[in-house]
Amino acid sequence: MKKEKNNSELMEKIVSLCKRRGFIFPGSEIYGGLANSFDYGPLGVELKNNIKNIWWNRFIHQRDDMVGIDAALIMNPKVWEASGHLKEFSDPLVECKKCKKRFRADHVDPNYEKTHHLNKKIKCPDCSGELSEPRQFNLMLKTFLGVIEDSASTAYFRPETAQAMFVDFKNVLETARKKIPFGIAQIGKAFRNEVTPGNFIFRTREFEQMEIEYFIPVPKKDADWEKVFEMWRKEIWSWAAEDLGIEKKNLHDCECEPENRAHYSKKTIDLEYDFPFGRSELYGLAYRTDFDLKNHFKEPPYEDAETGEKFYPHVIEPTFGVDRSVLAVLCDAYKEEEERVVLRLKPSLAPYKVAVFPLLRNKPELVEKATEIYHQLKKNFNVAFDDRGNIGKRYYSQDEIGTPFCVTIDFETLENDDVTVRDRDTMKQERVKISDLSEKISGSLNE
């Protein structure tokens, strides 16, 4: 019980830091907000862009078997008919007959997914009122294109980025001239009319995904797809632990029971993270078979260059939520120490790579030199400048947003062309030549 309280306090502290320091704000706040909508502020967008850029570099630029696309958010509604989303993409919804609050049946009844019945003994978690029978609620977010709002103009915001990789498969194949096995990746927004959004940016109705559809030959035996599945399972772990710097002890594989899997999947393993509100899905890995390509293409869309054989490739799909990455990174990096709160972010993820301070704001020669160094570093890095309060406060202010280095310009700098560099994690200080600063900062980004 105590642990739960501490954990919810921890979550509150992280949410509050995010707002106070400009990582993440409640959306439309001056109009009273919009439930579960959030805006990334100046520091949040840097963190999020760093995650997306490192992901793109790792999985597209560094590999020979991957290409990227950036598709429209609203696709022809026939896409969603063929993909099965209009029919299958739903959650079981129950309503409290007394307080009218709505819940997902599988959230209030842990056995729901096995039985597909709501245990009658289960009551409303808020007011203990009686719950209705579950009914399926489709998660597709609807809109209308053009001036007339009727069924002919109904369209949907994509609930996953994945479908564009299937629909564009032939166009990509013809232009990128890739041979199987290869993958198509995309980063972009997805929308779901979630029944119970919540836990800050963990589950929202508008969110961002980084997805890969990896196409393989028709497997002759299970081991053929299992090998590729395992390769991607390791890649996901390596991304989370090494690129995002998340502690391995907080990450867990969880294989989905058949009744929990999405309609297209033959096997799914989720990578879960120990969020302060509990262990929950961070990423997913699914074997989508040839389900999607078969539904979209009447003819097999792939021809083997050597044998001339035409077939429907099978698909392994690693999928990564951008917002959940941001949240996991923040939760993992947030540390309360004796005198300070510090975000121990990997330097490559930190919004600012370095902060520059003149020792005293009322000494023009120090301010001038600090400004010069600030502009010089800004050519290569995102840099903060601070001349308020005392140096100690400035350090703590940068610690709280994860800036790996603070550089102080003092009177010795004017004599010797060196500065004090203070390390966020060790809090140790050293003198570094101005000419060596860029290299020191760059070095930390490759760690």
Backbone angles phi, psi at 275, to 5 degrees: -70, 160
Select the residue interacting with ligand GAP from 106, 160, 292, 386 (CB under 6 A). 160
Burial class (CB in 10 A: 0-12, 13-18, 19+), 205: middle
Q: Is 43 in the site for ligand GAP (CB under 6 A)?
A: no
Q: Is 52 in the site for ligand GAP (CB under 6 A)?
A: no
Counting residues that bind ligand GAP (by CB under 6 A) gives: 18
Q: Could you give the residue ranges of the DSSP H alpha helices within 57-150?
A: 77-82, 85-88, 105-108, 112-115
Is the peptide bond preceding residue 125 cis, with omega within 30 degrees of 0? no
- Give me the half-sphere count of Cα atoms (radius 13 Å) on the Cβ side of residue 54: 24
Query: Radius of gyration (Cα) for the chain, nearest Å?
Result: 25
Q: Is 386 in the site for ligand GAP (CB under 6 A)?
A: no
Q: Is 204 in the site for ligand GAP (CB under 6 A)?
A: yes
Q: Looking at this protein, which amino acid is placed at residue 27?
A: G
Q: Is 328 in the site for ligand GAP (CB under 6 A)?
A: no
Is residue 179 within 8 A of residue 21, CB to CB? The reply is no
DSSP state of 217: P
Select the residue interacting with ligand GAP from 18, 60, 82, 162 (CB under 6 A). 162
Select the residue interacting with ligand GAP from 156, 182, 207, 291 (CB under 6 A). 207
Q: Looking at this protein, which amino acid is placed at residue 113?
A: E
Judged by CB, which is closer to ligand GAP: 276, or 321? 321
Judged by CB, which is closer to ligand GAP: 136, or 429? 136
Judged by CB, which is closer to ligand GAP: 109, or 211? 211
Judged by CB, which is closer to ligand GAP: 67, or 316? 316
Angle of helix 2-20 relative to helix 322-333, nearest 10 degrees?
Answer: 110
Structure tokens at 191: 């929308």
Supply the minimum distance, in Å, between the C-beta of residue 264 and ligand GAP: 8
Binding mask 273-312 toward ligand GAP (x if CB under 6 A, else -) reads --------xxxx----------------------------
Residue 95 CB partners (closer than 8 Å, separation 6+): 101, 102, 103, 131, 132
> What is the rounded distance in angstroms from the CA atom of residue 168 to the CA atom of residue 181?
17
Q: Is 48 in the site for ligand GAP (CB under 6 A)?
A: no
Judged by CB, which is closer to ligand GAP: 52, or 424? 52
Judged by CB, which is closer to ligand GAP: 283, or 395? 283
Q: Which stretch binds ligand GAP (CB under 6 A): 220-228, 318-326, 335-343, 390-398?
A: 318-326
Judged by CB, which is closer to ligand GAP: 260, or 371? 260
Q: How many CB atoms lie within 10 A of CB 152?
A: 10
Dihedral Cα 9, 131, 89, 321, nearest 10 deg: 0
Q: Is 399 in the site for ligand GAP (CB under 6 A)?
A: no
Q: Is 158 in the site for ligand GAP (CB under 6 A)?
A: no
Supply the minimum distance, in Å, between the C-beta of residue 400 and ligand GAP: 25
> What is the rounded distance in angstroms from the CA atom of residue 222 to the CA atom of residue 267?
11
Select the residue interacting with ligand GAP from 52, 85, 158, 192 (CB under 6 A). 192
Residue numbers at the binding site for ligand GAP (CB under 6 A): 160, 162, 192, 194, 203-204, 207, 209, 211, 281-284, 317, 319, 321, 323-324
